[in-house]
Structure formats: structure tokens, C-alpha cells
Amino acid sequence: MGNLRFQVVEEAFKKKPLEVVSPKERPSEFFAKYVFTRDKMYKYLKKDVYEKLINVIDNGAPLDRSIADAVAKGMKQWADENGVTHYTHWFQPLTEGTAEKHDAFVEHDGKGGMIEEFSGKLLMQQEPDASSFPSGGIRATFEARGYSAWDPTSPVFIIDDTLCIPTIFISFTGESLDYKAPLKRSLHAIDEAAAAVARFFDPQVKKVITNLGWEQEYFLVDEGLYSARPDLMLTGRTLMGHDSAKNQQMDDHYFGTIPDRVQAFMKDLEIQALELAIPVKTRHNEVAPNQFELAPIYEEANLAVDHNMLLMSLMKKVARKHGFRVLLHEKPFDGVNGSGKHCNWSLSTDTSTLLHAPGKTPEQNLRFAVFIVETLMGVYKHNGLLKASIMSATNAHRLGANEAPPAIISSFLGKQVSEMLDSIEGTNGGYEGKGKDKQLKKLDIPEIPELLIDNTDRNRTSPFAFTGNRFEFRAVGSEANCASAMIALNAAVAEALVDFKKRVDERIEEYSKRPEYAEGTGHTAQYHAILDTLREDIRTCKPIHFDGNGYSDEWVEEATRRGLDVEKSCPVIFDRYLDEESIRMFESLGIMNRKELEARNEVKWETYTKKIQIEARVLGDLSMNHIIPVATHYQARLAKNVSAMREIFPDDEAMKLSTRNVKIIREIAERIQAIETMVEELVDARRVANRIESEREKAIAYHDTVEPKMDEIRYHIDKLELTVADELWTLPKYRELLFVR
């Protein structure tokens, strides 16, 4: 039974890196080769059509349907030159993945033949079947109609022979059934709210852009080993497996030399990503064995989300070409670090960066402080919602462990920013100090140049840390659509900024009547109105500010005292979407309505249940059909040895010589009995939970009664793995999965 495992491991060891043929051009020359970029728009579209389309993209002007045919004609001409035969509307349903239906560029010509055609109507919208996508009850099973609508702000691109058109996806009755539609609404909301506040400091500001830079962590596993682990294939993680004697404790994998096979995969992936205009920049080994990271240059948030979703699909495709499987599950292996997707979020205007480190004038510092504090206000007021936005059945395995942000949302600011806010809060005359540039750190080594030291340190235990000119939302899961977190964050900050401006305007009206704030007497009524409102908010949002160790037990107690959300149950955490203040925020900003939020929560609860249900069924199957037969076989072999000893030696001596084997036989018997009993209990718990009609209550039942039994079963299986002879164990072990490249 074990020979097959050894063969798979041996084959994995023998694999050589696949040779990757690099393009002759420099990356800048083949960047966006398969993307309908502005230079291609200019080449293939008439000037007036090009200008109208650019106005839509840059300024949010309404899309003129009259230009659709001209745009479609230009796109098809470019696509034809690249060997394209099909097109698809590429969208992001509530499955955490992407969806596409390919149609050929063909129509009847009315003469018994066919013509190749691509009209503006086909570009603008399509009607994919909506009945089989998660809708949370918005659409009944027999109500199939849904619409996908072109998003011109995200360029179309070519994959193989297909023109891919990024779109939103909505139901026949108008509700969003995807991530892109509410993301775009949230970006519009924060644009309006932030621009209005930014104009207090610079009246020339026209728009505010939300930027996103994601860091994608992932594992690579040899494809043969992956295929020999049904739990990896069906659930994305190992449901059993004892720790390897050596894993990540030596810290020797982190930033280490990239293995040759992996380097070949990364090179191939980067070439294809750059051809699709995904601006990949960084690659390195992560902490856990066989764990790696890829990060791009920052982009506008809507485009960045599209690129991340496209990249995850591309990774899977390229990995198989190189004999790997990509694992995007947040915790594929127990005992080593899981994978996240750190989302670096920032705001910039058409003239400057709003979250840039403190400036050198009081006015610059005041603007910086306003946007820092109002971001904190949004995070503080909706900390439970932000946690819900990144929570899932898979990410729940990672959050709270001592290798990922804790399941409590807090924000690290660093010494300089903290001191600045303390000074503003406690000073009557405002904060007049100058911001500090990066300090020079002189080393006593002549050959080494002076180092520029950042004004803020880093705190890896903070889920929402300020890191210089951006906030890093570190709690997002590696396989998640990061739009979920961005929607909640954008909405929370937009609401805080709208409220801030309202209160400042009220104070300006009041203060303008005071003679001490008249023109020419010093700072204006507006300045004091901003400062007083800011001080008020600094005091209000203090509970979310925490620069200490987020892993400590003391922090859980302290967070509870501060009134932060410390709930750990994934299904219960989803409730935060349906808090009245959450619904009020989303509806007031025009992002989602109550019906959409309720439907999305139904999808979240149902998805959670199904994931745990699949894991439980797989674990039960492996326990009864893999683990117990192997353990029983080894037990029988030991029993045969004990019987043989009694035939050879006198009873007393035979018993003494067989003590170890008898002990192992007994242990195996006890663990087999425990596993059989617990598998029966697991099945019974599922049956009880499945009879619950409420999706929320069913998900809670799976969390409370099903999932804990899986951990108990795993404990006994992992002990058996250490006990049973290695040559009999059928499933690849951690030492093979994590170290074969």
C-alpha cells in the first residue's frame, strides 16, 4: 500500500525545472501586450470616440451607448490581429472566483453562411444564466435571468483565443450579484466624501483615487503529491498530518534562495502576468516551507482587484504546466504559517497623496492628521464589520494564530504619528511642529552607506497598520476576493469623512460669527473648526489605536474593555453586516441596500456550511477507507509477530520480548475505536445540523458541533501516523509535501 506513495515522492524529487523561453524584449516592451490599453484605443478608435471613452474612464462621465459600436469594432480589429475567435464577459460572482461564458464572433449571414461580428450591444451587456450562481434568495432557482454589464474603467484583455471583457453582474431585478458593482459604488462614495474634505486644504482638488497594493501569499506542492492527498484535492487543505520534525523553526526558508523549479514557475508567471498588464514586482520565499509571495506595484483599487483575481487564475494554470499545484487556502498545513493577502490601501488626489507621512507645515500636517484620524474613525466604528469582511471558513484557521493578525481589529500607528495626534489633542493652539524626514542611521562600517530609517516601525501583529503613506489591512485571506474588504473599508471611511465635513461645516458657520476668528486675526474659523472637530475624533477613536502585541491574552481582555468586537465564531461574526448601523451606512452611501446585504449573508452562511460539510465528509471517508485499514493491517502484522514469539520462546520470555508490540497493538486498537466512534458522532452531528432550515443557525451548528469533532478525529489520526510503519502509510506526509520541490 505504501509503495505508491514512495513512487510519487521519488518522481517529485527527480523533476527538473521546466525551461522558460524569455521574450527578447525588455519587460517594459511586452507589458500589456494582450490588453486593450490607451495606446491601442488611440490606434484602433476614431479620435472623437477615443476622447469620449477616455472621459468615461478618467472622469466618470456617463457611457454614451452611441459609441459602443465604434468601440466594439476597434476592439475586434485588435483582437483579430491577435488570433482571437471568441469573447466573454468576465465577472466576479459571490463564489470568490471568476466566471465566463465564451461566445464565438459568428452570426448567420442570411444566405446559408455566416459572418464574424461583434456589435456594441454584445460589448455592453450579456445575459448569463443567473440561477446557478449564489444569490442568497434574490433569485429563485427557476428565475434564471441576470445581466453582465461592461466596466470600461478596467481594460479588456486576451486569454488564449478569447477577448475578456470585465463586467459587473446584476440580477434581473437590479440587485448586485457580484463584488465589482458594490466595489465601484464604494469607490465613488469615498471619492466624493474624501474630495469634499480635501478641498478644505486645496480647493483645486477634483477627485480622490483609492489605491490598492496586494501581497499574494501561496504554497506550491508537487502535482503528484497533491493527487495522492484527497483532502488537498477536495478541500484545499490537509485535514490530517503530523508535524514534520523540521518545518519553519529555523527561519531558513524566509527570503532564502528560491528553488530552481519554483524560479522557473515564477519567471513564467511573471512574463504572462506582465503581458496582461499586471505590474508584478516582488517575489520571495515566505516563512513556511514551500510558501512564497508575489506583489505588484500599486494600482487604482478597482483595477487592482481585477488583476488579483486574474492572477490567481493564471497562477493555477502556470503551476500545472510546471508540475505544481498552487494552494491558496489560508491554512493548508497545520503547524506552519498560513497565507494571507495583505491589502495596502491609500488615498490620493489628482494633485497629491493624502496619507503621505507628516509634512513640514502645520497645514500639511493638519490635512494628514484629518485623513489618518477619519480612517481610524471608520475602522473604530465598524471594526466588527471589517472583521466580517475578511472572515471565512478558510481564513478562520489562520486568524488568531501567532503568525497572522488576531481576530480583533486594531490599528498600529507608530511613535511619530501617535505623538503627533496626542499633541493635537492636548494643545490649544494646534499642532505647529514640523514633520520629520526619514532619519539617517550611521553605521560604524566604512563600506556601508548611511541608512534612511522610516518614521514608523512595523507591527506584524496589527491587522490594520499604518506603514508610512498607507494602511496595511493584513487580515485579508489569501484566496479571498479582496473587494470584500475594500468595500467595507471604503464605506466605513467614506461615512466618517461625510460626518466629519458635516460637523466642520456646522462649526464654521458658528465660528464665523466670532470676532476672534475674523480674517486677519490669525487662524480662520475654518482652521479652528477643523482642529476642534479633529480633536473630538482623536478622543473618540482612541480604543482602536493599539501599538502593542496583538497576540497576547492580555490584549483580548483589554480589547473587550475598549468595546471592540472579540467574537471568534465565523458565522456569528457575519451578523455585523446586518447591524442597523451597517445597513444604514451602506444604504446612505448608495453601495448596497438591505435586501442585498441580507442575501449576501445568506450566501456567506451557506458557503461556510458547505465548506465544513465537505471537509467532514472527506475526513470521514479518509478515516474509514485509508487510515483504519492501514492501522489495522499494521496491527495484524504486530499481532502475528507476538504469536510467533510465543511459539519460539517460553511464555514469560515471549511476553517480556513482546511488551512493546503489545503496547502498540493496544494503542492502535484504542485509537481506531476512538476514530470510529467520533466518525459516527460526526455523521450524526451533520444530520442534526442539516435539518435546520435557517442558514445562519445551520452554519452556527456546523461551527459548534461538527467542526470540533473533526479536530478530535485528526488528533488520533496524527498519532497513528507516528505509530504505523512508514512503508504502510498511504498518504504523503508533511515532510514530503513541504520539502519536495
Amino acid 157: pLDDT: 98
Supply the DSSP string of 306-370, one letter for each residue: HHHHHHHHHHHHHHHHTTEEEE--S-SSTTS---BEEEEEEEEESS-BTT-S--SSHHHHHHHHH
Q: Is the pLDDT of residue 614 over 60?
A: yes
Q: What is the mean pLDDT of residues 200-213?
A: 95
Pairwise CA distance, residues 608 & 689, whole Å: 13
Q: Is the pLDDT of residue 436 over 70?
A: no
Supply the DSSP string of 595-617, one letter for each residue: HHHHHHHHHHHHHHHHHHHHHHH
Amino acid 448: pLDDT: 40
The model's pLDDT over 724-738, given as tens digits with 9 standing for 90+, comes to 999 999 999 999 999
Amino acid 449: pLDDT: 45
Amino acid 429: pLDDT: 43
Residue 471, strand partner residues: 345, 466
* Cell matching residue 368: 494628514
Q: What angle do CA 80, 84, 85 make, to 5 degrees?
A: 105
523 versus 476: the higher-pLDDT residue is 476
* Cell matching residue 471: 494602511
Q: What is the mean pLDDT of residues 354-367?
A: 75
Pairwise CA distance, residues 522 & 518, whole Å: 8
Q: Is the pLDDT of residue 153 over 70?
A: yes
The model's pLDDT over 162-206, given as tens digits with 9 standing for 90+, comes to 999 999 999 888 889 999 999 999 999 999 999 999 999 999 999
Instruction: Give the start-end residues of each E strand in 202-267.
Output: 208-222
- Nearest-CA neighbor of 305 among 405, 193, 210? 210
Please, are residues 402 and 551 in contact by the beta-carbon 8 Å criterion?
yes
Residue 93, strand partner residues: 178
Its pTM stands at 0.93
Of the CA atoms within 13 Å of residue 669, those in its CB half-sphere come to 9
Amino acid 443: pLDDT: 40
Q: How confident is the model at residue 141 (pLDDT cuts 50, 70, 90)?
A: low
Q: Is the pLDDT of residue 261 over 70?
A: yes
Please, are residues 198 and 354 in contact by the beta-carbon 8 Å criterion?
yes
Amino acid 439: pLDDT: 53
Report the sign of the C-alpha dihedral through residues 20, 24, 29, 32, in that order: negative
The model's pLDDT over 517-567, given as tens digits with 9 standing for 90+, comes to 776 666 788 988 999 999 999 999 999 999 888 888 899 999 999 999 999
Amino acid 127: pLDDT: 79
Q: How confident is the model at residue 721 (pLDDT cuts 50, 70, 90)?
A: very high
Amino acid 360: pLDDT: 65
Query: Which segment of 19-23, 98-102, 388-392, 609-613 scores lowest on mean pLDDT?
Result: 19-23
Q: How confident is the model at residue 310 (pLDDT cuts 50, 70, 90)?
A: very high
- Tracing cell 494552494 back to the chain, one arrives at 327
Q: How confident is the model at residue 453 (pLDDT cuts 50, 70, 90)?
A: very low
Q: What counts of helices (H) and strands (E) characterise the chain? A: 26, 19
Q: What is the mean pLDDT of residues 254-268?
A: 93
Q: What is the mean pLDDT of residues 244-249?
A: 89
- Nearest-CA neighbor of 301 among 130, 46, 105, 483? 483
Q: Is the pLDDT of residue 374 over 90?
A: yes
Amino acid 243: pLDDT: 94
For residue 411, give the 3-state DSSP assignment.
strand
Residue 720 CA from chain centroid, whole number: 35
Amino acid 49: pLDDT: 95
Amino acid 358: pLDDT: 62
Q: Is the pLDDT of residue 405 over 80?
A: no
Query: Which segment of 96-100, 299-303, 340-344, 450-454 scores lowest on mean pLDDT?
Result: 450-454
Average pLDDT of the chain, as a whole number: 90
35 versus 405: the higher-pLDDT residue is 35
Pairwise CA distance, residues 150 & 38, whole Å: 17
Q: Is the pLDDT of residue 79 over 80?
A: yes
- Nearest-CA neighbor of 216 among 278, 165, 153? 278
Pairwise CA distance, residues 97 & 106, whole Å: 28
The model's pLDDT over 7-48, given as tens digits with 9 standing for 90+, comes to 898 888 888 888 888 887 888 899 999 999 999 999 999 999
* Cell matching residue 245: 520534525
Please, are residues 551 and 383 in contact by the beta-carbon 8 Å criterion?
no
445 versus 67: the higher-pLDDT residue is 67
Q: How confident is the model at residue 60 (pLDDT cuts 50, 70, 90)?
A: confident
Counting residues of the chain whose pLDDT is more than 90, the rounded percentage is 69
The model's pLDDT over 625-644, given as tens digits with 9 standing for 90+, comes to 999 999 999 999 999 988 88
Amino acid 445: pLDDT: 44
Question: Which helix (H) or strand (E) covers residue 30, if one does?
Answer: helix 27-30
Q: How confident is the model at residue 111 (pLDDT cuts 50, 70, 90)?
A: confident
Q: Is the pLDDT of residue 698 over 80?
A: yes
Q: What is the mean pLDDT of residues 596-601?
A: 96
Pairwise CA distance, residues 22 & 147, whole Å: 40
Amino acid 440: pLDDT: 46
Please classify residue 711 by burial: count the beta carbons closer than 10 Å to its beta carbon, then call 0-12 exposed, 13-18 middle and 19+ buried: exposed
Q: Dihedral (C-alpha) 291, 296, 300, 304: value to the nearest 10 degrees?
A: -40
Counting residues of the chain whose pLDDT is more than 70, the rounded percentage is 92
